[in-house]
Amino acid sequence: MATNVAGFSWPLILLNRENKSCYPGFNCPKIPCKLWTISKVGRACSSSTSGLAPKNLEVKELKLLWDDGYGTQTVKDYLEAARDMTNHDDAGPPRWFCPIESGPPLKNSPVLFYLPGLDGVGMGMILHHKPLGKVFELRCMHIPVRDRTPYQQLVRFVETAVRIEYASHPNRPIYLVGDSFGGCLALSVAAANPTIDLVLILVNPATSFNMSQLQPLIPLLEAVPEELYKFLPYLFTTTFGNPIKMSNMVNITNPSSSPAKKLEKLILQASVLLDKIVSVPDILLPKQTLIWKIELLKTAAAHSNSRLHTFRGEVLILASGKDSVLPSKSEAGRLTDTLKNCRVRFFKDNGHLLLMEEGINLLSLLKGLGMFRRSKKHHDISDFLPPSKAEFQTLFDRDFRFYRIATSPVMLSTLPDGKMVKGLAGIPQQGPVLLVGNHMLLGVDLISIAEGFLRERNILIRGLAHPAVFTKDMDKHLQEVSLFDSFRVFGAVPATPTNFFKLLSKKSHVLLYPGGVREALHGKGELHKLFWLDEPEFVRMAIKYRATIVPFGAVGEDDLFEMFLDYEDLAGIPVLKNKIEGIRIDRNVATLKRGNQREEETNKPDYFIPGLYPKVPGRLYFLFGKPIETKGKEELLKDNIKVKELYLEIKSGVEQNIAYLLEKREEDPYRQLSERLFYRAISSPAHQIPSFDP
């Protein structure tokens, strides 16, 4: 039923601006409905906070490389919505709405409340509505321009919505995305409700407002005549965000666009953006409203800062390096020291309006940090969301495009009859499949394998990685988005027995490196050497779940870089040795079962960066051997000798694959980068450059 708190009627469903209708098939509750009429946007109605999407529209699951809609909406859409939603005769109260473009979410999705910045519109997350709307029930807070609700009453308003949602779904987390001013609001609500499972995402939170670079301008606001106030839009344009990034001029779905086309699009979109943004103060921040909101911001910062120490829940801070409104960089460090369970992602080239700048995908950030969950605890398998098409294009067609061109990976596989073929046709389409092979130095093989399987076979590889990769212990003070984040987005999970058997039971394609970190950080003279443990535990697990085992070999690191300092060299330098020892990680959690390992191996730290210098890139080569069926071989589990024999067969297969590739790559006419670049210039893309005949 509809709920009224302190005169506030909530939440509201924002209707489609074209046809002024709810979700197709949506049945509104049979309750009195207060209409919120907005020009061009449509109407909104009061309803319950839960069950907004009809059951027949619930999304059952997300397909691999699903279309998340990221990038289809821009700042232009925000400015149009802001104009449509602003009614200068509307004196309040604040209200909730559900953006129609978010669509129906997955079943049992948690709720996400968006708390806006100074503008109060509630559409500051518009670039993210479609992706987030697939996995969250979105509620956005709208504060009308003429509303003068005191801060403590705004806290009560959000707090009541949170408590009602918690009463309906006590076992689900509740997400609060606080943007600038909304960050203060989120912290105040969280501090007052320590027993509710709240996850905070604070975007350039205004807790540092007392140190804002705009403080000297505040006393001048009241003295500025109305005829001069209209020139402030130009200040807003350069202060609140990066105009180029906000123009969303880079289309990640077409990364190969010519520079001329990109420049043309930039000029067009930037001009449209500037034309619209100069009217923002007239629409959203009339002079008296701005003065009120600045006083509100002072109160919010003081209130939230006085309660920081009381919150113990999950916090993610997104901080900009070029925030001209707030000292967000230094504030991120301060909050990290104060909040006990806090992580940071730092964006050094972005401005204050971070969520409205191109290239920031909020859902991807949550996935990469393992912060998306549907229950009280994150589960690596059940809470996993498959990568979207936009995430694939961002990582492989943009970030690692030149890596693919430089290395031009060669993929070979073996059919069940033993015939070797180019490509991955020999890999079984149906799981469970266990891929077992050797790590190249620094794990440079991971990117090529993940991309190759997705691009050619539409198969997601679930890698088993060192658990430390997924902890904040690996983060720097101001951690930018890292490759480790992408590992989790594209299926990697901590290497634990539980995760291993859950993946096999779900018939996944699992990637396992028995040599682990020791193999990925090998020393001089250890090129292509396997560092496998003596315990064949993964073989037993594969047999138990009837998995097909595919041994593979990989070579090519020696054509990418040369090692001149390994662990033994670094350990001989006292300063470096102390630094390496300082990041020692418990090796006992790193693999499925450690077994008996030589003492000299366990004394080496898990993580260090060897001294390397790059070469003119050669090629990477992968050979996936003949699949080994374990279905029907369950009786082997009773015979330790037979299990050990199968283990040795797999290990021998990996070594044979490595030896084969080392020999055959000498016959590759396109092993050299210059030959590949010439061929690519006149013929096919990087992933289609030929090599030797198998």
| pLDDT averaged over 10-residue windows placed end to end, the chain, 694 residues | 34 36 31 29 35 53 93 84 78 89 90 94 93 95 92 96 96 97 97 96 95 74 66 52 53 50 52 51 67 90 93 95 92 94 94 89 96 96 96 94 93 96 96 96 93 96 90 85 93 94 96 92 90 91 96 96 82 68 46 41 59 91 97 91 95 97 96 90 74 92
Query: Does residue 584 lie in a domain region?
Result: no
Q: Looking at the structure, tell me whether residues 347 and 404 fall in a common domain.
A: no
Query: Does residue 249 lie in a domain region?
Result: yes
Secondary structure percentages of the chain, helix, strand, coil, to 5: 40, 15, 45
How far, in Å, CA of 227 to CA of 608, rounded? 62
The vertex-72 CA angle with 79 and 16, nearest 5°, equals 65
How far, in Å, CA of 467 to CA of 670, rounded? 38
pLDDT at 466: 87
Q: Looking at the structure, tell me whether residues 343 and 457 fall in a common domain.
A: no
Nearest alpha carbon to residue 633 among 549, 518, 513: 549
Q: Looking at the structure, tell me whether residues 352 and 448 fall in a common domain.
A: no
Q: Looking at the structure, tell me whether residues 349 and 275 fall in a common domain.
A: yes
* Domain CATH number, residue 151: 3.40.50.1820
Going by the DSSP 8-state scheme, the letter that residue 49 receives in this structure is S
Q: Looking at the structure, tell me whether residues 361 and 474 fall in a common domain.
A: no
Q: Looking at the structure, tell me whether residues 414 and 472 fall in a common domain.
A: yes
Q: Which ranges of 169-284 would DSSP assign to H, the alpha helix?
A: 181-192, 218-221, 226-229, 232-239, 243-246, 259-277, 280-284
| Number of domains present in the structure of the chain | 2
Q: Looking at the structure, tell me whether residues 144 and 264 fall in a common domain.
A: yes
How far, in Å, CA of 453 to CA of 671, rounded? 22
Query: Does residue 606 lie in a domain region?
Result: no
* HSE of 138, CA atoms in CB hemisphere, 13 A: 28
Query: Does residue 589 lie in a domain region?
Result: no
Nearest alpha carbon to residue 398 among 248, 250, 255: 255
Nearest alpha carbon to residue 106 among 81, 84, 138, 80: 138
Query: Does residue 429 lie in a domain region?
Result: yes
Q: Looking at the structure, tell me whether residues 271 and 416 fall in a common domain.
A: no
How would DSSP label each residue in 110-121?
PEEEEE--TT--
User: Which residue among 368, 387, 415 closes a domain?
Assistant: 368
Return the number of other C-beta atoms located less than 10 Å from residue 260's C-beta.
8
CB within 8 Å of 339: residues ≥ 6 apart: 308, 311, 315
pLDDT at 655: 97
**φ/ψ of residue 568, rounded to 5:** -60, -40
Q: Looking at the structure, tell me whether residues 362 and 273 fall in a common domain.
A: yes
How far, in Å, CA of 428 to CA of 549, rounded? 10
Q: Looking at the structure, tell me whether residues 423 and 353 fall in a common domain.
A: no
User: Which residue among 319, 350, 368 closes a domain?
Assistant: 368
Q: Looking at the structure, tell me whether residues 324 and 416 fall in a common domain.
A: no
3-state secondary structure of 254: coil
Query: Does residue 44 lie in a domain region?
Result: yes
How far, in Å, CA of 434 to CA of 509, rounded? 6
3-state secondary structure of 20: coil
Q: Looking at the structure, tell me whether residues 364 and 407 fall in a common domain.
A: no
Return the number of other C-beta atoms located less than 10 Å from residue 430's C-beta.
8
User: Which residue among 348, 368, 388 closes a domain?
Assistant: 368
3-state secondary structure of 552: strand
Query: Does residue 157 lie in a domain region?
Result: yes
Q: Which residues on adjacent β-strands are paired with residue 421?
A: 413
Query: Does residue 269 lie in a domain region?
Result: yes
Predicted TM-score (pTM) of this structure: 0.86
Nearest alpha carbon to residue 325 among 211, 203, 178, 245: 211
Residue 640: give the domain boundaries.
400-560+618-688
How far, in Å, CA of 550 to CA of 571, rounded? 37
* Domain CATH number, residue 519: 3.40.1130
Gyration radius from the chain CA atoms: 28
